[in-house]
Amino acid sequence: MVHSPDKNIKVAFFLNLAFSIIEVIGGFFTNSIAILSDALHDFGDSFSLALAWYFQKVSKKERDAKYSYGYRRFSLLGALINSVVLLLGSFFVISESVQRLVSPQAADAKGMLFLAIAGIVINGIAMLRLKKGHSLNERTVSLHLLEDVLGWIAVLIGSVVMLFVDVPVLDPVLSLGIACYILFNIYHNLRDTLRVVLQGTPGNVSCEAVETALQNLDGVKSIHDLHLWTMDGEYNISSLHVVVDPALTSRQTVILKQQVKNVLKNLHIQHVTVEIEQLSEKCETCDF
């Protein structure tokens, strides 16, 4: 089956929206402020998922006169927005949890138990679907759903315990632990996203690896002005200058140029621009 990021996010969006509505109804029936708060949080998630879905679809557009490299980087907007929403949501959960530690509240444990099971199943299905993806957008959306699954696991544990023992502080304690775990993952996702936006080198290839691989080609004297960056964390780009042996014929130079491109493609660099130079040629970029 062909991997389709926008289809995966679309499924996650509709599952999240449907369950948010179920949460509102369930929250009123169980008299659980925790569930109603989570419903509000999930509606915010649905909004960010809708944006992620939209940007993922836009990112599939081919390049044009306005965006000569295409629209792949638009998917990063979805990842950034989702990360910000996750940050706000985590701080909201921490705030609510601290308040509930100070003033514990009783709720319908049996009703919470049934909602928790439904929440784990629905959000778990969506999370597993997105976990197969590789884009930063999918990874960030998957974090949303992981947060929801862990939150419902906390509700499940809390509701089971509260069926037998009156320990209302258990739920906020578990929620605080989950929020800290999510914040740790948000940090890593934001770091990776900002590295792409700031045109850092891709995580799966290095300039040293490129230089080492190309130096082994017959006819290559040296490499300089090497640049590596990525459009969206998956589609990698490189431009470089290759100084060749002056004894090479025009035909041999063309073959060498293709060999350079093949080597870089084997290093997961999909878009390669090569400039061939002679030893006696002065390179203007060498002055920078």
The answer for residues whose C-beta is within 8 angstroms of residue 136's C-beta and 6 or more apart is 75, 76, 79, 189, 192, 193, 196, 232, 233
The pTM of the full predicted model, rounded to 2 decimals, is 0.70
CA distances, 169 to each of 18, 94, 105, 176 (Å) = 29, 13, 8, 11
201 pLDDT above the threshold of 80:
yes
Residues 25-58: pLDDT tens digits?
Answer: 877 777 666 666 667 667 767 777 788 778 878 8
| Residue 78 burial class via C-beta count within 10 angstroms: exposed 0-12, middle 13-18, buried 19 and up | buried
pLDDT value of position 287: 52
Per-residue burial over 123-162, b = 16 or more CB atoms within 10 Å of its CB, e = otherwise: bbebbebbeebebbbbbbbbbbbbbbbbbbbbbbebbebb
Q: Where are the domains of the chain?
A: 5-197, 207-287
Q: Helix, strand, or coil here: 276?
A: strand
Residues 149-187: pLDDT tens digits?
Answer: 877 787 788 788 878 887 777 777 777 777 787 788 788
Average per-residue pLDDT for the chain: 80
What mean pLDDT do residues 85-106 have? 78
Phi-psi domain of 166 (left: phi exceeds 0; alpha: psi -120 through 50; beta: other): beta
* Span of 14-18, 85-89, 200-204, 283-287 with lowest mean pLDDT: 283-287
Q: Which CATH architecture has domain 207-287?
A: 2-Layer Sandwich (3.30)
11 pLDDT above the threshold of 80:
no
Check: CB of residue 48 under 8 Å from CB of residue 144.
yes
Domain 5-197 grouped into CATH 1.20.1510.10: yes
Check: CB of residue 246 under 8 Å from CB of residue 228.
no
